[in-house]
Amino acid sequence: MSAAIRFEGVTKRFGALAALQDVTLDVEDGELLVVIGRSGSGKTTLLRCVNALEIPDAGRVVVEGQPISGSDLIALRRRIGYVIQSGGLFAHMTVEQNVGILGRAAGDAPARRAARAAEVLATVGLADFGPRYPGELSGGQRQRVGIARALYADPQIMLLDEPFAALDPVTRMELQDEFKRLRRELRKTMLFVTHDVEEALYLGDRIAVFDGGSLLQLETPAELKQHPATDYIARFLRRREQDMQ
């Protein structure tokens, strides 16, 4: 199996701070790789290196066999679905316009855009929400519209930055279930950021644990549960065990 995304010794600094430190990591084709770590550990920065919103200071990122270079970043980004941490919906556009914006950029006919937008909105369970504005949606609905927008161009790779953050536990569980179903339908490569261990264990094919910009552990959920290498995970698992008793 070839790597869909390959990080080769990637370092990214903001001034004196190293947000990513010599990260080497392969995301396999069709895999859902969860990136977990405490706040500020570099998860978002890792994601932004894939669609070239950040350019590494050292090392390189290879997407589908092609190293990211300065040329034609726009084409690269359109091949990668991007779900932004806070939703990132455009308030002046309807849900349908938000979802179809890449169709507009690609010059799709309006009818084709509307049809495709309806299709992906149905996929995330928001079939009738096309005419609404983001301001008229709940937080969970907005997050789902963000996912629908990323699905529009049917990208082989998706980057999801805490898509279910800031939701009540029950809604989050519903969305996670829905997402799991969706994932079985669409065999895409996904890089999924969260700081919720439960979510990571539930959704991930493999889990990459980050701390202070470094990759500390890369395991399947089962392995991770067996021998957590970080205090972060270990403490969480201990706590859960206590609860179950």
Partner 1 sequence: MRRALPAVLIALVVLSFARLHAAPPTIVIASKQDTEGQILAEVFAQLIEARTPYAVERKTNLGGTLLVFQALRSGSVDAYPEYTGTIDATILHGTLSFDGIRAAMEQRYGIFVSDELGFNNTYVLAMKAETARQLGIRRISDLAAHPDLRWGVTPEFLRRSDGLPGLERAYGLGTVDAVDLEKSLAYQALARGAIQVTDAYSTDGQLLRYGFVTLQDDRHFFPGYRALYLVRDGTLRAAPDLRGVLHALAGTIDDRTMTAMNARVDIARESPDEVAAQFLAQRLHVTRARAADSTFSRLMRALLRHIELTFVALLFAVLFGVPLGILAAAHAGAGRAIMKVVGTLQTVPSIALLALMIPLFGIGVLPAVVALVLYGLLPIVANTLAGLRQIPSELLDAAEGIGLSPRQALAWVRLPLALPFILAGVRTSAVIAVGTATIAALIGAGGLGDFILTGLTLNDPATLLLGAVPAALLAIVVDELVYRLGLLVRPRGLDRA
Ligand X SMILES: Nc1ncnc2c1ncn2[C@@H]1O[C@H](COP(=O)(O)OP(=O)(O)OP(=O)(O)O)[C@@H](O)[C@H]1O
Residues that bind partner 1 (CB under 8 A): 48, 51, 53, 74-78, 80-82, 84-86, 88-94, 101-102, 104-105, 133-136, 149-150
Closer Cβ to partner 1, 33 or 83, answer by number:
83
Q: Which of 4, 7, 41, 82 binds ligand X (CB under 6 A)?
A: 41
Burial class of residue 4 in the structure, from the number of CB atoms within 10 Å of its CB (0-12 exposed, 13-18 middle, 19+ buried): buried
Binding of ligand X by 97 (CB under 6 A): no
Q: Give the length of the chain.
A: 245
Q: What minimum distance in Å lies between the beta carbon of 160 and ligand X?
A: 12
List the structure tokens of 50: 């894939």
Q: How far is the CB of 111 from Mg ion (least distance, A)?
A: 38
Q: Is 195 in the site for ligand X (CB under 6 A)?
A: yes
Query: If DSSP codes are grouped into helix, strand and coil, which group holds residue 37?
Result: strand
Task: Classify residue 170 as exposed, middle or buried by CB count within 10 Å of its CB (0-12, 13-18, 19+).
Answer: exposed
Cβ proximity to Mg ion: between 35 and 95 the closer is 35
d(CA 172, CA 118): 23
Distance CA 73, CA 60 (A): 15
Q: Which does 94 bind (CB under 5 to 8 A by kind): ligand X, Mg ion, partner 1, none?
A: partner 1
The span of 12-20, 60-68, 75-83, 233-241 binding ligand X (CB under 6 A) equals: 12-20
Q: Least CB distance from residue 88 to partner 1, whole Å?
A: 3
Closest CB to Mg ion among residues 44, 141: 44
SS (H, E, C) 190-238: EEEEECCHHHHHHHCCEEEEEECCEEEEEECHHHHHHCCCCHHHHHHHH
Of 36-44, 64-72, 106-114, 207-215: span binding Mg ion (CB under 5 A)? 36-44
Which structure tokens are listed for 6? 């390959």
Binding interface with ligand X (CB under 6 A)? 14, 17, 19, 37, 39-45, 195
